[in-house]
Structures are given as C-alpha cells and as structure tokens.
C-alpha cells in the first residue's frame, strides 16, 4: 500500500491516534515528507476508547474558559471539514431536583463569554424534544454539542495524509530513538508482523504517543510528567437519546449520555492510576454500578436498556513543568519543544488536549516543525475538507435511491460511515450488497473496500473501519463471514482462525463486566455457534 | 402541525432488544420464501428498529410486503414482537399516502353497506370480466381476484326481523360480534352460529352498533380511523361484558385477534377490561363442553372428509386446537390435518395487483396439499383464507361453526338441557 518506502523523512510521527494522524495530515499538506508509525492500529489508544463527544465547550465553560473557547471553535470547524464523522445532535444541560438551579445562570453566562450559543428551555419543551430525558428535570439549556466518530476521524486524517504523500506504518512499535549527540535523528522500529527490527531517519521526530508519550520521551532520554486518568464507559444496545444529555453542574462522574451512530454511551468515571497500569483496561463492578446509577438519572429508560459492553480509556494528562507533584494538571494542549526544554533537538511532543481539538494540536505542532525546518507554508486544515466530507457532485440523496430493496440498508450505512467515499463501495450488485454484519448494515462490498483501501491487517482493524461486530450480536453472525472474506484476500487459513479467535476474545472482554440479562443469552448462543458448530477452541488464542 | 413535534419519535419499549439474532424467524417468514425483495422479519423487525432509532430514513417501504401473519412471532424463542415492530414502523415512518384503492379495500363496512343495498346490481357487475380488468388497470386490484358476493339482506337486518325476539327466551346469554363479512357477504354463518348457540341454551344478542374491527384500516395505514373504531368497539364490548356480564363471541379469527391484540399493541387502545371475555365461538363452545356444562348431539348420518387450515391469526392466538377438537367430536368426520402455512391473502394484501404474485406464491404449498388431500371441503375460521382457498383450489371452504350447525341434531341437544 505504501509504495517506494524511503528510509529518510522530514518528519517521523510516533503514534497513530487522532493527534498523530492529524499531524501527519497537516505536515503532508504543507509539503513535508512524512512517516507515521503506530505500534498496533490506528485509534487503538485513547482515541478509540473515549466518549466521542463533540464538545461545544459548555462542559468547561465555568471551570476552564480557555478550553471552552478552543472547543467551540474546533467544534464549528469539524462540522465543516469532517461532516461525515460528526453528528450535529445538539446537547442539553439538565438540572435535576437535587442540583442547584442557581448554577444555570452562572453556566449560561460563562458559555456566553466563551462564545457558546445557549438557549434556556422550558422543562416541558425539553421533554418533548428529547423524550428520553429524565422527566423530573427542573431546568434545561440547549447547546451546540454533537457526536464525533473517533475511528472515522482518525482514518480520514490518515487517508488524507496518504493522499498527500505520507507513508503510514501500522504494527510498527518504536523501541528506541536514534540519537546523534544532542539530536534525535531517527527511530528504531520493531515490526510485529515480520518480527524484524528496522530503522528510519527523520529531521524531526514527533512524539504523539498519548499517555505512552511518557515512555517514548524516556527512550529519547527526556522526562515528561504524565498522570494517567482512567475513565470507564458503558455502551447501550441502541440509541435511547437523540441529543447529548449532560448535567448542569460542575463536571462529575457519569454525567454525560452521548448518542453515537447506532448506540449511546454513558460516561465517564475518572480515576488516577499508576503509570504501570495504563495497559490494564479492566472495568470494575463498582465502575459499572456508578455508571448505571448516575446514567439512570439522565435517562430513566437506561435502567431497562440492554448494555452491550463496558470499556475504559486513559486520558493523557500532563503536569505543569514547575509542579512535579501533579497537583496542577492541565487539560489543555501541551506542545513541548525538547530543544528548548531539555536541549534535545529534533524531538517534540504534542499531547494533552482532546479528541476534538486534535486539529488545533496538529496545527500548533506543525507550525513548530515548519519553523524548525524553515518551511514557510500556512496551515490549511481548517478549510480543506477531509476525504469523504467534500460536497459531492452527485449527491446520493435518498430520493433517487432504490427504495424497494434490502440493499438500501447497506448503502445508507456505507454513506453514513464513509461519506462521499461511499461511491467507491456502492455498485448495485446484489451479491456485493448483501450483508456481512446484519446489525450495522456492513456489506460485502464495504468489507472489501476496507480491506483494500483502509490499512486492514486483521478482523479487529476491520471492525474499527466498518463497525463489523459492533452491533447487538457483537460478532455472533458477522465474525465468521468477515473472517472468510479476509482469508480470501490475504490471510492464511491458520492465521485466519487465530484472528477469528482473537476477535471473539476481544468482544468477550468488553462484555464480561456486564454479563446479565439478554447479553448473557447472546454470549451463550455465540459460544454455541463458534465452539459447537465451528469447533473453535478457547486455546486457539 | 403542532401536534407532530410532540410525538415522541425516538422512544421504544425495548422489546426488540430481546432478539439474540438466532434468525429462526427468518426461516418461518412465508414472504421471504417467495419474494427476495422483502428484507425478512429479523432485518425489518429488531435489526431495522435499531437503525430507525438512529435515523428514520432507514425505514424501507418494502416493509409493506409483510403480511402481518405473525408467524415469525410464534417462531421466535425470545418473545420478540416482530410483527408488531414492523407494523408500528409502518405506522410511524411510512410517507406513502394510502391510495383510493386502499381506502376502498379498507373500508369494508362502508363499501359493504352500499354494495349490499345494491347487491343484485353490484354482484353481476363486479363479476364481469371487463369490469375486473378496469379494476385491475385503474385501481390496481388484481383481475384474478373474485370479489366476495354481497348478500341481498344484511345479517343485522335479518337478525332484527327474524331472530331478535326469540333470544330472551333463554336463561344464558352471549353477545355476538359478527364482523363485516357475515353482515354483508355471508349472513348464513351468523345464522348458523345462532342455531348452535340457541341449541346450547344461549340467547345471542348483537352489540350496540358494532363497527368494523379495523384490521384492513391498520394494514392500509389509515390509523386515525382505525383508532376511532377501536375505541368505539371497546366501549360497545364493555357495555356487554362489564355492564351485562355477557361475554362476546365471534366467528372471525381475524376480528377477534385484532380486538384482543392489535388494539393495545398497535393502536394503543386499552382493552384490559374486555380482553379475557372476548373470544372465538369455537373456543367458547369447546370450553363449555370440556368443563361438562354442555353436551352436543350429532346427526347419525353425517359423513364428511374434512381438512382444517390454520389461519395465521389462529396460529398466533394458539386457538386452532379448539376448532379442530370440536370438529373431531363429530362422529362422522374423517379429519385431515394440513401443515400450518399461510394462504397468502392476508386480508386486503392479496387483492393488490403488486402483491398478487407474492400472495399466490406464499399460498402454493398449501393449495397443493389441499388439492391432493381428497377431502369434501376445507374448514377454516378466517373469511379471507376462505376466499383465497376457494379461488386458488377446486375445494369449497366452510366455517367450523357452519359444519357444526349442519351436523348438529338440534332437538336431541336441546332435550339434554331442557329436562
Ligand atoms: C474516558 C475518556 C473519555 C474521553 N472523552 C472525550 C470526548 O468525549 N471528547 C473529546 O474530544 N476527547 C475525549 N477524550 C480525550 C481524547 O480521547 C484524547 O485526548 C485523544 O484521543 C488523545 O489522542 P492521541 O492521539 O493524543 O493519543 P492516543 O489516541 O492515545 O494515541 C497514541 C498512540 O500511540 C501509539 N503508541 C504508543 N506507544 C507507541 C510506540 N512505542 N510506538 C508506536 N506507537 C505507539 C498508541 O498505540 C496509540 O495509538 C477522552 C478520553 C478518555 C480517556
Ligand atoms: S408477520 Fe409474517 S410476513 Fe411479516 S415478517 Fe413476520 S412472518 Fe414475515
Ligand atoms: S427469532 Fe426472535 S430472537 Fe431469533 S432472530 Fe428472530 S427476532 Fe431475533
């Protein structure tokens, strides 16, 4: 997929989260030669394990004015440049009888100062526009919150970087930073596919490793003081709410319900964890209890709604340099020029921030890189749309479609996921239109497109690109079909079987903390199919 | 206009989440077997509902291909109300306006009133080939269809003139929901019921102005009118069941199914007070006999070979056992079981030109069974099944009540309880 791989680049970016992918895009658009390296797959770090809230900034308006102002600006930009990754759902900040209604006016004022449009709603009206909301609410404010799909956002940035000449390597882990005196000049990589080591060289090395940036900096011999904060979330089986629902009070645990694609998410808890625990994403029973207890206050129907999975992510929070104790943690963007800070040239770190401020983070990082390389080119990422979000010349409007066939579901789902790029998928062939994943409407054609165009190495990657296996049945029906297609394309049958076992194991992990009710029926049934019919053994993995 | 905003579009009772995706329902859907354009119960029901909650544009007009036979619901091991989910989606999301034809087909009672008044004129006209071709071309009512004939005198009129006065001679009483078919097309079935009930010692009364149960209105998406009629009927039932302690029986499986289940599930019309005491005549009779409160005596010389067809709604109600058990009580009956399959008509569905092929395709295996069964006639509890089978096979179809009436020795039966 990456043609002529060279060994030397202007910029090497470590980390295939949204920050790394965004920075790769920005650098490539400014004409730099770019290599992006990621140890697993795109969006496997915090980017793939968050809430997907397109903040309006309202959540931070009272406590952190700067973040709030940043959010609303980027919110408006993402609606434009990434409309296929964004759902403009709007959000409600509700006041419940146990909350102080006086906070509402303070909140509205703070939003105004940050430039966030608000509208105070009559509780009765709020109940009508959002029927799932807790009917006991005594106040509601409407804000321009939204939802953003982190997988699509990251992949679109990576795709556009590739279109502009960047080279993308997944399954490549940085094991060391090559240094020459006080200068970082390259990276030592371990290729997980081939189990081989390889070095690449670059004028600037960018550490966009999220929470793992702490470790990557260490490899370069510099120290960043990071404080991992774990947050857990629950995914519900379908969309209960159409608007984001928040509590109108100081930010707290489990007080946001975000609708996203076919599901909705309640989150998050927040817990400081030791650095050596950042790869342990276990969700405890206490976490699940808190999430349900608080979630039901936002929307009572959650109490009887099926829960699909639980998962956790780690926020990359950085302590201010002058505060090693970590008491004054910044939630803002952190850009470190290690030449100025530590005397190590050719190495910079970009971290902190949020999913939805990735573009601004990338812009700031790229500005610094350009300054160092003496490249004089303006940032264009706020204006130029991501691939898939362009205004299409042939709008695939619903009116012109075949409305009388089953293919409608896969076609419409593909459009929702890939925006205008769906034209590469839709071909009207009955066989190709048939569904691999019935819950999420993923067709054979879409799977093939993802395998060929979107850097897919295994089934789990395929899930991040298409939503295969993300629906109610969590892979029960689609996993084997998708494994078959993947096998046809490039896998050896033996590997495909391991891959399938890995995929199911990963699905199972997320279901484990919430195994009751309908969920447990489903799991039992799935294991009958895969163990009973297909003879897959637990030790396949 | 204003009202529309207030309709909660995004709420659901979560029943669809009980689905474990086992796909059993898909195997039992008669439409899917013959028409690949239909996405099937799983995709249209629980899977589709989830997508429609994300975005109503996922609604697919092909959902109107669903017969609402509820065979998927009977098959589902997890109690997912698949048929209800599909019908509710059509009610909530369909943008297609019902056509003139749909209104004509759906308003069985209004059209019935007009037609039966002019029956001698209407029947021959509707039967004429050119007229059927016009109905086909202009109204898109398939020309293969033969309309049920309209009777000259409505059942209600007959009842008032010839039966009403005698009913108070009895000690026990029931009300009878006759339905449109008995009233306009086939009063004999109602007369047969009265004959049996009277023989069993029950006086039969009509409800205070019954209205069409509305099943055809629902399937043609005329929901407002259906809801109005449902409310009216529930009130009328209450007057009999609650006020006078008189249960309501019916001879139409579809009417009674609609009143018991579709009213609360699809129209949101509560019927708790009347549901348990609204039932089919065959079930009412069987339970009387079974509990020893009634004995029927049959004619010695009655000999017939009969096959019973289980209408979809009987399958859903789980009540075909009552009708077949009654038939089997008649000594002279040689009983043939048919495999339970949909006949394909589904009320007004099969009358529509665009559905004709699907409809006949669905019914074919049933017709083949009937043709090769060598029976004198077929018995079934549903009037639209009757039309479909009579049109598609060489056999006549009779209602179990009519068969019972024919085989019953009235005098002997009456003697048993009079002494
Ligand atoms: C629970 C939770 C909820 C959140 N909710 C929201 C929200 O609603 N809205 C919002 O805007 N933000 C939210 N965030 C914040 C947001 O998720 C993060 O700020 C953002 O995803 C960080 O992206 P990143 O690319 O900097 O880091 P990451 O996504 O963590 O990317 C780092 C990447 O580096 C790779 N890597 C690590 N080590 C190496 C190595 N040695 N070699 C190669 N690659 C390596 C990792 O595999 C990973 O893919 C949330 C965060 C959490 C934890
Ligand atoms: S109600 Fe009948 S036609 Fe409709 S989906 Fe179920 S089985 Fe199929
Ligand atoms: S039979 Fe029931 S549980 Fe099985 S797929 Fe159909 S609706 Fe789901």
Mean pLDDT calculated for residue range A99-114: 97
Mean pLDDT calculated for residue range A353-357: 96
Q: Taking 90 as the threshold, does the pLDDT of residue A318 lie above it? A: no
d(CA A26, CA B194): 85
Mean pLDDT of chain A: 92
Confidence class of residue B123 from pLDDT cuts 50, 70 and 90? confident
CATH class assigned to B304-407: alpha beta
Q: Which of A235, A210, A55, A83 is nearest to A146 (CA)?
A: A55
CATH code of the domain occupying A2-46+151-225+326-373: 3.50.50.60
Classify residue B287 as left (phi > 0), alpha (psi -120 to 50) or beta: alpha
Q: Is there a contact between B57 and A441 if contact means CB atoms under 8 Å apart?
A: no
Q: How far is A191 from chain B (nearest CA, A)?
A: 39
Q: Taking 90 as the threshold, does the pLDDT of residue A167 lie above it? A: yes
Is A279:A273 a contact under the CB 8 Å cutoff? no
Q: Is there a contact between B17 and A522 if contact means CB atoms under 8 Å apart?
A: no
d(CA A144, CA A57): 9
Q: Is the peptide bond before B120 cis (omega within 30 degrees of 0)?
A: no
- What are φ and ψ of residue B144, in 5° steps? -70, -20
Q: Which of B17, B43, B58 faces A237 most closely, judged by CB atoms?
A: B17
Mean pLDDT calculated for residue range A381-407: 64
Q: Taking 60 as the threshold, does the pLDDT of residue B9 lie above it? A: no
Domains A2-46+151-225+326-373 and A87-148+227-315 agree in fold: no
Cα-based angle A256, A258, A260 (whole degrees, multiple of 5): 165
**Which residue lies with its CA nearest to atom 4 of ligand 1?**
A50
Mean pLDDT calculated for residue range B146-168: 90
Is A368:A348 a contact under the CB 8 Å cutoff? yes
Say what the pLDDT of residue B352 is. 87
Contacts of B208 (CB under 8 A, 6+ apart): B236, B239, B240
Query: In this predicted model, which residue has the larger pLDDT, B349 or A35?
Result: A35
Q: Is there a contact between A403 and B47 if contact means CB atoms under 8 Å apart?
A: no
Which residues of chain B does A306 touch, with a Cβ-Cβ cutoff of 8 Å?
14, 17
Classify residue A419 as left (phi > 0), alpha (psi -120 to 50) or beta: left
Those residues of chain A whose CB sits closer than 8 Å to some CB in chain B are 128-132, 237-242, 261-262, 301, 304-306, 398, 403-406, 408-409, 412-413, 416, 435, 438-439, 441, 471-473, 476-477, 518, 521-522, 525
Structure ipTM = 0.92
Q: Taking 80 as the threshold, does the pLDDT of residue A30 lie above it? A: yes
Q: Looking at A261-419, which runs of residues are DSSP E strands?
A: 263-267, 271-272, 307-319, 329-330, 333-337, 347-352
Is A389:A85 a contact under the CB 8 Å cutoff? yes
Q: B155-292: which CATH number, 3.30.450, 3.30.470, 3.40.50, 3.10.20?
A: 3.40.50
Q: Taking 70 as the threshold, does the pLDDT of residue A419 lie above it? A: yes
Reading the block at residue B293, the tokens are 């409160």
Confidence class of residue A521 from pLDDT cuts 50, 70 and 90? confident
- What are φ and ψ of residue B11, in 5° steps? -115, 155
d(CA A355, CA A305): 28
d(CA A485, CA A480): 9
In tens, the pLDDT along A138-155 reads 999 999 999 999 999 999
Q: How far is B338 from chain A (nearest CA, A)?
A: 33
Show the ligand 2 pocket: residues with CB < 6 angstroms.
B 28-29, 31, 41, 66-72, 82-83, 86
**Which residue lies with its CA nearest to atom 2 of ligand 3?**
B76
Say what the pLDDT of residue B386 is. 94
Reading the block at residue A215, the tokens are 């470790």
Interface-testing mutation among B6, B22, B59, B89, with chain A (most A C-beta atoms within 10 A): B22
Q: Which of B147, B28, B138 is nearest to B82 (CA)?
A: B28
Strand partners, A299: none
Say what the pLDDT of residue A392 is. 55
Q: Taking 50 as the threshold, does the pLDDT of residue A396 lie above it? A: no
Q: Which residue of chain A has the CA closest to B35?
A: A405
Helices (H), B210-319: 215-219, 223-238, 253-257, 272-275, 281-290, 312-317
Q: Taking 70 as the threshold, does the pLDDT of residue B113 lie above it? A: no
d(CA B129, CA B121): 15
Q: B316 C-alpha to center of ligand 2: Å? A: 12
Say what the pLDDT of residue A497 is. 86
Q: Is there a contact between A416 and B55 if contact means CB atoms under 8 Å apart?
A: yes
Q: A435 C-alpha to center of ligand 2: Å? A: 20
Is A262:B50 a contact under the CB 8 Å cutoff? yes
Mean pLDDT calculated for residue range A489-509: 87
d(CA B292, CA B183): 32
Q: How many CB pairs under 8 A join A and B?
A: 102
Ligand 2 atom, smallest distance to B68 CA: 1
Is A469:A522 a contact under the CB 8 Å cutoff? no
Q: Taking 60 as the threshold, does the pLDDT of residue A37 lie above it? A: yes
d(CA A141, CA A133): 13
Indicate if ligand 1 lies below 6 Å from the C-beta of A228. Answer: no
Q: Is there a contact between B17 and A472 if contact means CB atoms under 8 Å apart?
A: yes
d(CA A509, CA A115): 42
In tens, the pLDDT along B73-108 reads 999 999 999 999 999 999 988 877 777 778 777 777
Confidence class of residue B192 from pLDDT cuts 50, 70 and 90? very high
> What is the full DSSP assignment across A38-82?
-SS-TT-SGGGSS--EE--SHHHHTT-HHHHHHHHHHHHHHHHHT
Say what the pLDDT of residue A92 is. 98
Q: Which residues of A213-234 are buried (b: 16+ CB within 10 A; e: fewer)?
A: bbebbebbebebbbbbbbbbbb
> What is the full DSSP assignment across B140-167?
-B-TT--PPPPPSS-HHHHIIIIIGGGG
Indicate if ligand 1 lies below 6 Å from the C-beta of A268. Answer: yes
Torsion, Cα of B225, B231, B237, B239 (10° steps): -130
Say what the pLDDT of residue A540 is. 53
In tens, the pLDDT along B264-274 reads 999 999 999 99
Reading the block at residue B418, the tokens are 């009079």
Question: Structural domain boundaries of chain B?
Answer: 2-93, 100-139, 155-292, 304-407
d(CA A281, CA A314): 8
Say what the pLDDT of residue A330 is. 67
Reading the block at residue A62, the tokens are 């009272």
DSSP structure class, residue B408: B
Q: Which ligand is nearest to the CA of A52?
A: 1
Q: Which of A17-26, A29-38, B269-278, B343-352 has the lowest mean pLDDT?
A: B343-352
Mean pLDDT calculated for residue range A17-25: 98
Which residues of chain B does A438 touch, with a Cβ-Cβ cutoff of 8 Å?
21, 42-43, 47
Q: Taking 90 as the threshold, does the pLDDT of residue A298 lie above it? A: yes
Domains B155-292 and B304-407 agree in fold: yes
Is A299:A127 a contact under the CB 8 Å cutoff? no
Say what the pLDDT of residue A322 is. 67
Reading the block at residue A380, the tokens are 């264009």
Sign of the C-alpha dihedral computed for residues A448, A452, A457 and A460 taken in this order: negative
Q: What is the pTM of this model?
A: 0.91
| Overall fold of domain B2-93 | Fumarate Reductase Iron-sulfur Protein; Chain B, domain 2 (1.10.1060)
Question: Structural domain boundaries of chain A?
Answer: 2-46+151-225+326-373, 87-148+227-315, 396-540
- What are φ and ψ of residue A446, in 5° steps? -70, -40
Say what the pLDDT of residue B96 is. 78
Q: Which of A42, A50, A526, A53 is nearest to A311 (CA)?
A: A50
Q: Which of A461, A458, A431, A457 is nearest to A443 (CA)?
A: A431
Q: Which of A105-119, A483-497, B294-308 has the lowest mean pLDDT?
A: A483-497
Q: Taking 80 as the threshold, does the pLDDT of residue A77 lie above it? A: yes
Q: How far is B51 from chain A (nearest CA, A)?
A: 6
Relative to beta strand B397-398, strand B248-250 is unpaired
Say what the pLDDT of residue B151 is. 79
CATH class assigned to A87-148+227-315: alpha beta
Say what the pLDDT of residue B245 is. 96
Sign of the C-alpha dihedral computed for residues B40, B42, B48 and B53 taken in this order: positive
Q: B41 C-alpha to center of ligand 3: Å? A: 8
Q: Which of B10, B48, B54 faces A261 most closely, judged by CB atoms?
A: B54
Mean pLDDT calculated for residue range B23-32: 96
**Does an H or E element contain B83, and which?**
helix B82-93
Mean pLDDT of chain B: 90
Q: Which of A439, A19, A537, A291 is nearest to B42 (CA)?
A: A439
Q: A432 C-alpha to center of ligand 3: Å? A: 25
Indicate if ligand 3 lies below 6 Å from the C-beta of B22. Answer: yes
Q: Taking 50 as the threshold, does the pLDDT of residue B1 lie above it? A: no
| Helix B187-199 × helix B281-290 angle, to 10° | 20
Q: Which of A117, A158, A89 is nearest to A358 (CA)?
A: A158
Ligand 3 atom, smallest distance to B79 CA: 2
d(CA B115, CA B102): 17
> What is the full DSSP assignment across A394-432?
S---GGGS--SSTHHHHHHHHHHHHGGGGGGT----HHH
Those residues of chain B whose CB sits closer than 8 Å to some CB in chain A are 5-6, 8-12, 14, 16-23, 36-39, 42-43, 46-51, 53-55, 57-58, 60-62, 78
d(CA A425, CA A444): 9
Indicate if ligand 3 lies below 6 Å from the C-beta of B114. Answer: no
């Amino acid at each position: 997929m990456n043609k002529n791989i060279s060994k030397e680049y202007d910029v090497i970016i470590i980390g295939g989260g949204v920050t790394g992918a965004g920075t790769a895009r920005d650098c490539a658009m400014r004409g730099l030669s770019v290599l992006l390296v990621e140890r697993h797959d795109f969006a496997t770090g915090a980017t793939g394990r968050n809430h997907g809230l397109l903040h309006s900034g309202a959540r931070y308006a009272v406590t952190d004015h700067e973040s709030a102002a940043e959010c609303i600006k980027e919110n408006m930009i993402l609606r434009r440049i990434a409309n296929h990754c964004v759902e403009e759902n709007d959000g409600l900040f509700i006041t419940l009888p146990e909350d102080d209604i006086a906070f509402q006016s303070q909140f509205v004022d703070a939003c105004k100062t940050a430039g966030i449009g608000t509208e105070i709603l009559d509780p009765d009206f709020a109940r009508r526009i959002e029927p799932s909301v807790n009917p006991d609410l005594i106040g509601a404010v409407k804000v321009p919150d939204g939802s953003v799909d982190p997988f699509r956002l990251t992949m679109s940035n990576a795709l556009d970087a590739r279109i502009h000449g960047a080279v993308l390597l997944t399954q490549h882990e940085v094991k060391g930073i090559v240094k020459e005196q006080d200068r970082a000049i390259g990276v030592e990589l371990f290729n997980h596919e081939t189990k081989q080591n390889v070095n690449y060289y670059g004028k600037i090395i960018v550490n966009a490793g999220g929470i793992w940036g702490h470790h990557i900096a260490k490899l370069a011999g510099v120290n960043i003081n990071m404080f991992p904060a774990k947050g857990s979330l629950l995914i519900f089986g379908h969309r209960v709410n159409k608007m984001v629902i928040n509590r109108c009070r100081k930010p707290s645990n489990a007080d946001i319900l975000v609708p996203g694609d076919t599901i909705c998410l309640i989150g998050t808890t927040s817990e400081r964890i030791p650095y050596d625990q950042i790869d342990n994403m276990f969700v405890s029973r206490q976490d699940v209890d808190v999430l349900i207890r608080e979630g039901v206050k936002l929307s009572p129907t959650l109490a009887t709604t099926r829960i699909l999975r639980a998962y956790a992510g780690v926020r990359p929070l950085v302590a201010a340099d002058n505060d090693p104790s970590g008491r004054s943690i910044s939630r803002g963007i952190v850009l470190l020029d290690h030449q100025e800070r530590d005397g190590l040239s050719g190495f910079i770190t970009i971290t902190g921030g949020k999913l939805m401020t990735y573009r601004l983070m990338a812009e700031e990082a790229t500005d610094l890189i350009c300054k160092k390389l003496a490249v004089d080119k303006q940032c264009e990422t706020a204006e130029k749309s991501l691939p898939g979000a362009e205004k299409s010349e042939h709008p695939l409007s619903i009116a012109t479609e075949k409305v009388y066939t089953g293919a409608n579901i896969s076609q419409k789902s593909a459009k929702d996921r890939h925006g205008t790029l769906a034209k590469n998928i839709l071909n009207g062939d009955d066989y190709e239109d048939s569904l691999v994943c019935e819950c999420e409407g993923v067709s054979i054609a879409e799977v093939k497109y993802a395998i060929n165009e979107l850097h897919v190495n295994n089934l789990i990657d395929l899930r991040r690109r298409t939503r295969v296996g993300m629906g109610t049945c969590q892979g029960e029906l689609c996993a084997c079909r998708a494994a078959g297609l993947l096998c046809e394309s490039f896998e050896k049958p033996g590997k495909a079987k391991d891959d399938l076992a890995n995929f199911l194991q990963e699905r199972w992990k997320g279901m484990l903390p919430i195994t009751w009710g309908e969920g447990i029926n489903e799991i039992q049934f799935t294991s009958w199919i895969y163990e009973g019919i297909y003879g897959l053994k637990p030790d396949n993995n | 206009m204003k009202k529309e905003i207030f309709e909660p579009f995004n709420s659901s009772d979560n029943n669809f989440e009980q689905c474990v995706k086992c796909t059993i329902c898909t195997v039992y859907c008669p439409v899917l077997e013959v028409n690949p354009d239909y996405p099937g119960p799983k995709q249209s029901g629980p899977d589709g509902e989830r997508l429609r909650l994300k975005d109503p544009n996922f609604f697919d007009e092909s959902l109107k291909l669903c017969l609402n036979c509820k065979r998927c619901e009977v098959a589902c091991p997890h109690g997912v109300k698949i048929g209800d989910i599909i019908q509710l989606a059509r009610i909530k999301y369909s943008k297609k306006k019902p056509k003139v034809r749909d209104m004509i087909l759906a308003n069985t009672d209004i059209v019935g009133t007009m037609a039966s008044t002019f029956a001698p004129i209407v029947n021959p006209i509707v039967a004429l080939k050119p007229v059927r071709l016009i109905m086909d071309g202009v109204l898109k009512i398939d020309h293969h269809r033969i309309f049920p004939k309209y009777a000259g005198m409505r059942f209600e009129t007959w009842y008032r003139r010839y039966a009403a006065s005698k009913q108070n001679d009895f000690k026990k009483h029931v009300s009878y929901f006759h339905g449109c078919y008995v009233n306009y097309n086939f009063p004999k079935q109602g007369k047969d019921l009265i004959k049996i009930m009277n023989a069993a010692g029950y006086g039969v009364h009509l409800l205070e102005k019954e209205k069409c149960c509305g099943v055809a209105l629902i399937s043609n998406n005329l929901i407002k009118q259906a809801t109005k009629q449902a409310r009216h009927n529930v009130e009328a039932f209450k007057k009999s069941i609650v006020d006078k302690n008189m249960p309501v029986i019916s001879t139409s499986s579809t009417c009674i199914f609609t009143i018991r289940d579709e009213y609360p599930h699809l129209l949101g019309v509560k019927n708790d007070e009347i549901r348990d005491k609204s039932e089919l005549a065959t079930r009412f009779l069987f339970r009387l006999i079974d509990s020893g409160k009634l004995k029927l005596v049959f004619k010695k010389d009655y000999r017939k070979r009969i096959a019973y067809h289980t209408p979809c709604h009987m399958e859903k109600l789980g009540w075909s056992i009552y009708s077949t058990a009654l038939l089997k009580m008649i000594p002279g009956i040689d009983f043939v079981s048919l495999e339970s399959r949909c006949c394909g008509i589904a009320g007004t569905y099969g009358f529509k030109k665009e559905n004709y092929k699907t409809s006949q395709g669905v019914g074919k295996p049933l017709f083949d069974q009937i043709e090769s069964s060598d029976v004198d006639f077929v018995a079934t509890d549903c009037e639209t099944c009757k039309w479909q089978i009579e049109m598609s096979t060489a056999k006549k179809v009779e209602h179990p009540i009519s068969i019972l009436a024919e085989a019953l020795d009235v005098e002997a039966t009456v003697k048993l309880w009079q002494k």
